[in-house]
Amino acid sequence: MALKSVEFQSPRAPGASPDASERELLERIARSKDQAAFRTLYGSYYQRLSRLLARMSVRREDIEEVINDTFWVVWTKAGEFRGASQLSTWIIGIAYRRALNALRRAKIRPVSDEPFDEDSISVMSTDAAETDGQWLALGLTRLPVEQRMALELTYTLGHSCEEVAAILDCPVNTVKTRLFRARETLKQVLPALAGMSGEKS
């Protein structure tokens, strides 16, 4: 099996900063309880939080509640945000902690205990990307939630190592270690990945 070669487009170009416009929205919320600004900010986070929470194995019926609990905090604490971090790390960090609570309440163990089932990979598909995606989806279920989050925040949302550390509330070196372990685990279940970095310098 070979992973289809596709050029990765970073979700965020270096230097691009949506933070300034989002901070302006937050200031309007803090200053005048501006509902239009609140609705815009909610809309700009709804999809990415939905995806992130699904990746954390938060139950579908709980995802909306976690998002709304997060934005309840944004609405009530907007004036307390001092700008020491990116606004996105503040908001996503709140959602992450709320999601952990939701997982605890639901007594969900967000790592699969099932044996790795190679038979679940479709042999009918002729689309290499689709097959690779199925392998990867299975591989991700083997990762602890903290490692999955580090991958998702880095690769899908395009956060820097420091931003991921702020969101997950852990040291930078811990983020590096989590991603290192995630990469090693994925190689064990994704033969194509294991072969790709096998060359020695």
Partner 1 sequence: MSARIPDTHAEAWALLPWLANGRLPASDREWVEAHVAHCAECRGELDAQRKVATQISRDTSPDMAGTPGSTGYGSTGNDEQRSFNKLWARIEASEGAAPSASGVAGGFSSRTSRTVRWLAAAVVVQGFGLALFGFNALRDNAGEIVTVAEVPAQRLNAPAVRVVFAPEASMATINTLLTHQELSIVSGPGTSGNFTAELSAKAVASGASADSVAAVLSKDPNVTFAQPVAR
* Binding region for partner 1 (CB under 8 A): 3-14, 32-36, 39, 42-43, 46-47, 50-51, 53-55, 57, 60, 63-64, 67-68, 71-72, 75, 129, 132-134, 136-137, 140-141, 151-152, 154-156, 158-161, 163, 176, 179-180, 183, 186, 193, 196-201
Rounded Cα gap, residues 14 and 96, in angstroms: 24
Q: How many residues does the chain have?
A: 201
Rounded Cα gap, residues 169 and 81, in angstroms: 17
Rounded Cα gap, residues 6 and 69, in angstroms: 37
Closest contact distance (angstroms) between CB of 119 and partner 1 is: 16
- Indicate the residue among 57 and 146 with the shorter CB distance to partner 1: 57
- Indicate the residue among 21 and 173 with the shorter CB distance to partner 1: 173
Residues 6+ apart with CB under 8 A from 174: 165, 168
169 in helix, strand or coil? coil
Closest contact distance (angstroms) between CB of 77 and partner 1 is: 13
Closest contact distance (angstroms) between CB of 83 and partner 1 is: 20
Amino acid sitting at position 44? S
Tell which residue, 158, 146, 149, 30, has the closest CA to residue 83.
Answer: 30
Closest contact distance (angstroms) between CB of 8 and partner 1 is: 4
Closest contact distance (angstroms) between CB of 66 and partner 1 is: 11
Q: For helices 60-77 and 87-105, what crossing angle results, to 10°?
A: 140
- Indicate the residue among 137 and 169 with the shorter CB distance to partner 1: 137
Q: Please, are residues 110 and 56 in contact by the beta-carbon 8 Å criterion?
A: yes
Rounded Cα gap, residues 71 and 151, in angstroms: 24
- Indicate the residue among 39 and 105 with the shorter CB distance to partner 1: 39
Closest contact distance (angstroms) between CB of 61 and partner 1 is: 10
- Indicate the residue among 70 and 93 with the shorter CB distance to partner 1: 70
Q: Please, are residues 192 and 6 in contact by the beta-carbon 8 Å criterion?
A: no
